[in-house]
A = this chain, B = another copy of it.
Amino acid sequence: MADTLHLASDPVELTAALVDVPSVSGDEARIADLVERSLKEQTALEVTRSGNTVLARTNLGRPSRVVLAGHLDTVPINDNMPSRLENGILHGCGTVDMKGGDAVMLHLAATIQDPRHDLTFIFYDCEEVDAVRNGLGRIEREMPAWLNGDLAIVCEPSNGVIEAGCQGTMRVDVRTKGVRAHPARSWMGVNAIHAMGEALRRLEAYESRQVEIDGCLYREGMLAVKISGGVAGNVVPDEAVLQVNHRFAPDRTPEQAEQHLRELFEGYEVTVTDVSAGALPGLGAPTTRELIEAAGGTPVAKLGWTDVARFAALGMPAVNYGPGDPLLAHTQQENVPVHQIQQCADVLRRFLS
């Protein structure tokens, strides 16, 4: 591995170089070191670091500031490393989510010499795990001035179109209790796993809402992500836990989403373990309209939760815009067409220059 990245080079090569540095959530030290060293070679930037989050900004006294943000971590590698370029498609863990976006940001940081707005770049850790570990959340708590700006662009994959707002996400534990007994006389106990059948039945029968806001269509989700229960092979189980993830449209607050989950799982013990609010699309702001014009096309709804919600909560317009098909995020066959990386860099250069 090289000591630094050639930020001014082709952003596609830069994407491949980033993909080839493994950075599963919690293990971002190497990639953060590399990004930090590379940014520090850019004399026009103020660079700092917090844990495995690297921050850089211009201080040119421009009347407005645009914040660009991307996470450095990936979901667990799934037999899809190192990167592989084939017929104009770059394959590998993180190509879509979101080292293509990171590469565009790094490339712009090194090559836009005279931006119209002051620029802030945030490369952060632990986005793919519980919200409490999110590096951008830590920056918000500990170095909040770094998030200030007039528009935030989170370079999550959006197929090269502006994705507006994002859905909220909530995880709950749905718990059943029983009474232990010997399986030879199972009728003397109460089986906590059998009691989970009804909860799964409600999930299967659940019909998700589709909500249109500012012309963007949000499609909700309600699904089991984990289940566990049982004591030993010779004991009637007295506890089972089902972890449910609810993705909710940004017309609902976290409180409303929680109420909805409690109604769905009425009769069960429900504990919220993780929550992130959604963000309304907010397409009316002037800088957002400028970006939409530079990108062309029609903005669409962002279904996955992204950190745009964090900026939206601070009162800033915030959108997702980055290379790669979000449908491929977290799949083994993650890949990004290289022309999208180039296009994304071109659009942002036009908007920012």
Residues of A within 8 A of B (CB): 75-76, 128-130, 167, 169, 171, 180-188, 191, 193-194, 196-197, 200-201, 203-204, 219, 221, 223-237, 240, 242-243, 245, 247, 274, 303-305, 326-327, 329-332
Whether B204 contacts A194 by the Cβ 8 Å rule is yes
A169 and B330 CA atoms in complex are apart in Å by 41
Q: Is there contact, CB below 8 Å, between A194 and B183? A: no
Q: In the complex, A229 Cα to B330 Cα: how many Å? A: 17
- Are B326 and A183 touching (Cβ within 8 A)? no
SS class, residues of chain A in contact with chain B: mixed
CB<8 Å pairs between A and B, sample of 29: A75-B235, A129-B234, A130-B233, A169-B183, A181-B331, A182-B326, A182-B327, A183-B247, A185-B304, A185-B326, A187-B219, A187-B221, A188-B327, A191-B224, A193-B200, A193-B224, A193-B225, A193-B227, A194-B224, A196-B200, A197-B200, A223-B236, A225-B231, A225-B235, A228-B230, A233-B243, A233-B245, A234-B245, A235-B330
- Which residue of chain B is the closest to A237 with respect to CB atoms? B225
Q: How far does the alpha carbon of A230 sit from the alpha carbon of B187 in the complex, in Å?
A: 29
Query: Which residues of B sit under 8 angstroms from A230, Cβ to Cβ?
Result: 224-228, 243
Q: Which residues of B contact A128 (CB under 8 A)?
A: 234
- Which residues of the other chain, B, contact A274 by a CB distance below 8 angstroms? 233
| Additional 4 contacts, C-beta under 8 A, given A76-B231, A182-B327, A228-B229 | A184-B221, A185-B327, A194-B200, A224-B237
Residues of B within 8 Å of A228, CB to CB, are 227-230
B330 touches A221 (CB 8 A): no
In angstroms, Cα B217 to Cα A15, docked, is 70
Residue of B180, B204, B245, B330 touching A331 (CB-CB under 8 A): B180
Please, how many angstroms separate the alpha-carbon atoms of A196 and B224 in the complex?
Answer: 11
Question: In the docked arrangement, what's the CA distance between A305 and B185, Å?
Answer: 11
A231 to B242, CA, bound (A): 13
A185 contacts across to B, CB distance below 8 A: 221, 303-304, 326-327
Q: Which residue of B lies closest to A228 (CB)?
A: B228
- Complex: A153 Cα to B5 Cα, angstroms: 76
Expressed in whole angstroms, the minimum distance between the Cβ of A339 and any Cβ of chain B is 23
Least CB distance from A199 to B in Å reads 8
Which chain B positions have C-beta within 8 A of A226? 193, 229-231, 233, 237
What chain B residues lie within 8 Å of A247 (beta carbons)?
183-184, 186
CB-defined contacts of A169 to chain B, threshold 8 Å:
183-184
A245: chain B residues at CB < 8 Å are 183, 233-234
- Which residues of B are found within 8 Å of A75, using beta-carbon distances? 232, 234-235
**Shortest Cβ distance from A236 into B: residue:** B223
B193 with A201: CB separation less than 8 A: no
Question: Which B residues are CB-close (under 8 A) to A304?
Answer: 182, 184-185
B-chain residues with CB within 8 Å of residue A242 when the two chains form the complex: 193
| B203 & A197 in contact (Cβ 8 Å cutoff) | yes
- A233 near B225: Cβ-Cβ < 8 Å: yes
Which residues of the partner chain B approach A329 to less than 8 Å between Cβ atoms? 182
Note all chain B residues with C-beta closer than 8 A to A243: 230, 233
**B186, B197, B219, B221: the one within 8 Å of A201 (CB):** B197
A216 nearest CB across to chain B (Å):
14
Evaluate whether A183 and B221 lie within 8 angstroms (CB atoms) in the complex, with A193-B226, A201-B197 already known. yes
